[in-house]
Amino acid sequence: MDTLKELLARGYRARSENDPAESRAAFFEAVREASIEADRPSLAEALCGLAQAQRDIGNLAAANHEYENAAVLYRQVGPPAKLAYAIRHEADILRELRRPTDAERLYLEAEKIYRQLGQQATLDLANTLRGLALVNESVGKLDASKMLWSEARELYADCNVEAGVSECDKKLSQ
């Protein structure tokens, strides 16, 4: 029987090896084990891992559910960076499910947390602003979207993320 730590490591390893079925199985088992042990921080982490695996296989509704549950736990046990991570990814899924109002609320919450975390969260903030810009585009708020793309571009440049800079440049030139 794998320990909780081993299950989490197995899930991350399978995901990095592009084996979503194995990743899902490991994280599902980690969720079960963390629940039995009443280890809420590990349960939240396992739920995020399970959500990623569900998303990797295209099961967006299940992924949304797992991120939502992880966020509930992170709101109780912290830390803020992990809460922001969970809600930003939940927002990404809600955006993909064409629920812009729900996504926007979560992006704005994640943005606030990432801004409070400062420089250590620069890339996470850029990714959050990117998602928020896409939401604004989808509902016709083009001026707000352009401002977000512009700030995201600066942050991606600060992090040397060329793909992010390139996408922002493309959006800003449209």
Q: Which residue has the tokens 């996470």?
A: 124
Q: What is the model's pLDDT at position 2? A: 78
Q: Name residue 173's amino acid.
A: S
Burial 58-84 (b: 16+ CB within 10 A, else e): ebbebbbbbbbbbbebbeeeeebbbbb
Q: Give every CB contact of residue 147 below 8 A, 6+ residues apart in sequence.
A: none
Domains of the chain: 1-78 (1.25.40), 99-174 (1.25.40)
- For 40, the token pair is 């809420």
Tens digits of residue pLDDT in 76-122: 999 999 999 999 999 999 999 999 999 999 999 999 999 999 999 99
Q: What is the model's pLDDT at position 1? A: 64
DSSP 119: G
Q: Give every CB contact of residue 138 below 8 A, 6+ residues apart in sequence.
A: 95, 98, 100
List the chain residues with pLDDT less than 50. Answer: none
Q: CA 33, CA 56: separation in Å to the nearest integer? A: 22
